[in-house]
């Protein structure tokens, strides 16, 4: 019992420590900058501006984020991509995973058109999926689209080429539809829309 409590204590510290340290660092920077700015303003202009420290810390964080993103992260990202491109198998895996993750969360989200697809023309069997490509000219078939069907409880799915007449667009949030599919319908689509 004591061992479990110690384990929970350590886990709690591991969860809270980064947040606490970040908060402490920001608070320390705020108090230092605020004190320094207030002293300088009082000394030279004889005024105090409340909240100037907060504004200055926010500005410092924005500038730090910008510098980190443009001058540090981008060159490292370019270097990493150049190394990966030289190794064929890693390049194949990296580009496939990169495309998959950008389809979920990148600038070019692909899973934003949820549809209901009639799977069997002889029954009412339908399946939820996402239109990922509408231009299938390379197949010489303009009446079909590519539909991705995610699997439930799995990080995989299948791509089908489906006739447009068997597709019915869904007026629902695409992330909610994805959660509904992946959870095998347990999330209850539309519960959060009340």
**Spans of all domains in the chain:** 2-85, 114-193
Question: What is the average pLDDT value for the chain, to the nearest integer?
Answer: 79
pLDDT at 194: 44
Q: How confident is the model at residue 88 (pLDDT cuts 50, 70, 90)?
A: confident
pLDDT at 193: 47
Q: How confident is the model at residue 190 (pLDDT cuts 50, 70, 90)?
A: low
Q: What is the pLDDT of residues 155-168, one digit of tens each?
A: 678 888 888 888 88
Q: What is the pLDDT of residues 68-87, one digit of tens each?
A: 777 777 787 788 888 878 88
pLDDT at 137 over 50: yes
pLDDT at 2 over 60: yes
Q: How confident is the model at residue 31 (pLDDT cuts 50, 70, 90)?
A: confident
Residue tagged 């402490």 (tokens): 24
CB-based contacts of 183, cutoff 8 Å, min separation 6 = 152, 153
């Amino acid at each position: 019992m004591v061992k479990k409590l110690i384990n929970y204590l350590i886990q709690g510290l591991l969860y809270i420590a980064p947040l606490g340290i970040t908060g402490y660092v920001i608070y320390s920077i705020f108090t230092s900058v605020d004190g320094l700015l207030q002293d300088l303003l009082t000394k030279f202009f004889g005024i105090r501006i409340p909240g100037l420290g907060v504004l200055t810390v926010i500005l410092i964080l924005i500038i730090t984020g910008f510098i980190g993103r443009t001058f540090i992260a981008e060159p490292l990202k370019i270097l990493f991509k150049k190394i990966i491109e030289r190794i064929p198998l890693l390049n194949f895996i990296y580009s496939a995973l990169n495309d998959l993750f950008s389809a979920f969360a990148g600038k070019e989200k692909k899973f934003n058109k949820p549809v209901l697809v009639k799977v069997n023309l002889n029954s009412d069997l339908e399946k939820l999926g996402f239109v990922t490509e509408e231009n299938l000219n390379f197949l010489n078939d303009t009446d079909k689209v590519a539909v991705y069907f995610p699997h439930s409880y799995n990080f995989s799915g299948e791509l089908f080429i489906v006739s447009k007449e068997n597709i019915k667009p869904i007026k629902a949030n695409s992330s909610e539809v994805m959660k509904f599919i992946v959870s095998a319908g347990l999330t209850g689509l539309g519960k959060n829309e009340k």
